Amino acid sequence: MAEVNSVEEMKALGQNIGEKLRVGDLVLLSGPLGAGKTALTQGIGRALGIENITSPTFVISRIHEGRIRLVHVDAYRLQGEMNAIFDDLDLESYLPSSITVVEWGEGLADRLADQYLEIMIEFGESDDQRLVSIIGHGQRFAEFKL
Protein backbone atom coordinates (compact mmCIF):
# COMPACT_ATOMS: atom_id res chain seq x y z
CA MET A 1 0.00 0.00 0.00
CA ALA A 2 1.30 3.42 -0.96
CA GLU A 3 0.62 6.60 0.99
CA VAL A 4 -0.01 9.68 -1.13
CA ASN A 5 -0.21 13.14 0.43
CA SER A 6 -1.06 15.52 -2.42
CA VAL A 7 -2.55 15.72 -5.89
CA GLU A 8 0.95 16.08 -7.35
CA GLU A 9 2.09 12.93 -5.54
CA MET A 10 -0.95 11.08 -6.97
CA LYS A 11 0.00 12.25 -10.46
CA ALA A 12 3.61 11.14 -9.85
CA LEU A 13 2.35 7.71 -8.75
CA GLY A 14 0.25 7.54 -11.90
CA GLN A 15 3.26 8.47 -14.01
CA ASN A 16 5.30 5.73 -12.36
CA ILE A 17 2.55 3.23 -13.16
CA GLY A 18 2.14 4.58 -16.69
CA GLU A 19 5.83 4.08 -17.44
CA LYS A 20 5.35 0.36 -16.74
CA LEU A 21 2.16 -0.10 -18.75
CA ARG A 22 2.11 -1.34 -22.32
CA VAL A 23 -0.30 -1.69 -25.21
CA GLY A 24 -3.27 -3.90 -24.31
CA ASP A 25 -3.17 -3.21 -20.57
CA LEU A 26 -6.37 -2.65 -18.63
CA VAL A 27 -6.40 -0.65 -15.39
CA LEU A 28 -9.43 -0.50 -13.08
CA LEU A 29 -9.61 2.37 -10.59
CA SER A 30 -11.92 2.35 -7.60
CA GLY A 31 -12.45 4.73 -4.72
CA PRO A 32 -14.93 7.29 -3.45
CA LEU A 33 -15.71 10.56 -5.20
CA GLY A 34 -12.78 12.94 -4.91
CA ALA A 35 -10.27 10.24 -3.98
CA GLY A 36 -7.91 10.99 -6.88
CA LYS A 37 -8.79 8.56 -9.68
CA THR A 38 -8.60 11.22 -12.38
CA ALA A 39 -5.36 12.66 -10.93
CA LEU A 40 -3.84 9.17 -11.10
CA THR A 41 -5.02 8.88 -14.71
CA GLN A 42 -3.46 12.28 -15.48
CA GLY A 43 -0.14 10.86 -14.26
CA ILE A 44 -0.55 7.79 -16.46
CA GLY A 45 -1.24 10.15 -19.35
CA ARG A 46 1.86 12.18 -18.50
CA ALA A 47 3.95 9.02 -18.90
CA LEU A 48 2.40 8.55 -22.35
CA GLY A 49 3.01 12.15 -23.41
CA ILE A 50 -0.64 13.15 -22.97
CA GLU A 51 -1.71 16.39 -21.30
CA ASN A 52 -5.12 17.90 -20.52
CA ILE A 53 -6.83 14.77 -19.24
CA THR A 54 -10.13 15.58 -17.53
CA SER A 55 -12.73 13.32 -16.00
CA PRO A 56 -15.02 11.78 -18.62
CA THR A 57 -17.92 11.70 -16.13
CA PHE A 58 -20.47 13.30 -18.45
CA VAL A 59 -19.21 11.90 -21.76
CA ILE A 60 -18.46 8.42 -20.31
CA SER A 61 -15.23 7.95 -22.28
CA ARG A 62 -12.43 9.91 -23.91
CA ILE A 63 -9.69 8.75 -26.25
CA HIS A 64 -6.33 10.49 -25.96
CA GLU A 65 -3.56 10.05 -28.52
CA GLY A 66 -0.03 9.83 -27.18
CA ARG A 67 2.98 7.53 -27.35
CA ILE A 68 0.33 4.87 -26.75
CA ARG A 69 -3.38 5.65 -27.12
CA LEU A 70 -5.15 6.05 -23.75
CA VAL A 71 -8.84 5.19 -23.47
CA HIS A 72 -10.21 6.77 -20.27
CA VAL A 73 -13.66 5.65 -19.12
CA ASP A 74 -15.76 6.78 -16.17
CA ALA A 75 -18.33 4.05 -15.52
CA TYR A 76 -19.90 5.75 -12.49
CA ARG A 77 -23.17 6.45 -14.29
CA LEU A 78 -23.23 2.96 -15.83
CA GLN A 79 -23.96 1.08 -12.63
CA GLY A 80 -27.23 -0.81 -12.15
CA GLU A 81 -29.77 -0.50 -14.97
CA MET A 82 -27.33 1.48 -17.13
CA ASN A 83 -24.89 -1.47 -17.09
CA ALA A 84 -25.78 -2.47 -20.68
CA ILE A 85 -24.46 0.84 -22.03
CA PHE A 86 -20.97 -0.22 -20.93
CA ASP A 87 -21.04 -2.95 -23.59
CA ASP A 88 -22.03 -0.38 -26.21
CA LEU A 89 -18.72 1.46 -25.65
CA ASP A 90 -17.02 -1.35 -27.61
CA LEU A 91 -13.90 -1.20 -25.45
CA GLU A 92 -12.91 -4.65 -26.72
CA SER A 93 -12.01 -3.12 -30.08
CA TYR A 94 -9.70 -0.52 -28.46
CA LEU A 95 -8.13 -2.78 -25.85
CA PRO A 96 -5.52 -4.51 -28.07
CA SER A 97 -4.12 -1.20 -29.37
CA SER A 98 -4.46 1.02 -26.30
CA ILE A 99 -4.03 1.33 -22.58
CA THR A 100 -7.51 1.40 -21.09
CA VAL A 101 -8.22 3.01 -17.71
CA VAL A 102 -11.72 2.54 -16.26
CA GLU A 103 -12.84 4.49 -13.21
CA TRP A 104 -15.67 2.84 -11.25
CA GLY A 105 -15.18 -0.27 -13.41
CA GLU A 106 -15.41 -3.01 -10.81
CA GLY A 107 -17.96 -5.60 -11.91
CA LEU A 108 -17.95 -4.16 -15.42
CA ALA A 109 -14.49 -3.79 -16.92
CA ASP A 110 -13.00 -6.88 -15.30
CA ARG A 111 -15.03 -8.93 -17.79
CA LEU A 112 -12.99 -7.34 -20.62
CA ALA A 113 -9.75 -9.14 -19.74
CA ASP A 114 -8.42 -11.87 -17.49
CA GLN A 115 -5.31 -9.81 -16.83
CA TYR A 116 -5.67 -6.33 -15.40
CA LEU A 117 -4.33 -3.99 -12.79
CA GLU A 118 -6.74 -3.03 -10.03
CA ILE A 119 -5.98 0.16 -8.11
CA MET A 120 -8.03 1.06 -5.04
CA ILE A 121 -7.78 4.55 -3.54
CA GLU A 122 -9.05 5.28 -0.04
CA PHE A 123 -9.10 8.43 2.06
CA GLY A 124 -6.40 8.56 4.73
CA GLU A 125 -6.28 10.27 8.09
CA SER A 126 -5.86 13.83 6.78
CA ASP A 127 -7.82 15.66 4.07
CA ASP A 128 -4.99 15.27 1.57
CA GLN A 129 -3.81 11.77 2.44
CA ARG A 130 -4.78 8.82 0.26
CA LEU A 131 -3.97 5.14 0.67
CA VAL A 132 -3.44 3.35 -2.63
CA SER A 133 -3.55 -0.43 -3.02
CA ILE A 134 -2.48 -2.12 -6.22
CA ILE A 135 -3.57 -5.66 -7.04
CA GLY A 136 -2.40 -7.47 -10.15
CA HIS A 137 -4.71 -9.98 -11.81
CA GLY A 138 -3.29 -12.55 -14.20
CA GLN A 139 0.25 -13.41 -15.20
CA ARG A 140 0.95 -10.01 -16.82
CA PHE A 141 0.47 -8.23 -13.49
CA ALA A 142 1.42 -10.96 -11.02
CA GLU A 143 4.82 -9.41 -10.42
CA PHE A 144 3.81 -5.77 -10.98
CA LYS A 145 5.81 -3.55 -8.66
CA LEU A 146 6.31 0.18 -8.37
Residue 58 has pLDDT above 70, yes or no: no
Residue 120 has pLDDT above 90, yes or no: yes
Q: How far is CA 21 from CA 100, 114, 128, in A?
A: 10, 16, 26
Ordered by start, the domain boundaries in the chain are 2-138
Mean of all residue pLDDT scores within the chain: 88
Contacts of 76 (CB under 8 A, 6+ apart): 57, 103, 104
Task: Let me know: does 56 contact 73? Beta carbons within 8 Å.
Answer: yes
pLDDT tens digit string along 84-111?
566 667 677 778 899 999 998 877 677 7
Strands ordered across the beta sheet of 2-4: 2-4, 130-137, 116-123, 26-30, 98-103, 69-74, 61-64
Closest CA to 105 of 92, 125, 119: 119
Topology (CATH level 3) of domain 2-138: Rossmann fold (3.40.50)
As a whole number, mean pLDDT of residues 109-115 equals 81
pTM value?
Answer: 0.90
Query: Could you give the angle at the alpha carbon of 108 between the alpha carbons of 68 and 21, nearest 5°?
Result: 25
pLDDT tens digit string along 7-40?
999 999 999 999 999 999 999 999 999 999 999 9
Q: How far apart are CA 34 and CA 36, in angstroms?
A: 6
Residue 80 confidence class, pLDDT cut points 50, 70, 90: low
Query: Diameter of the chain by CA atoms?
Result: 41
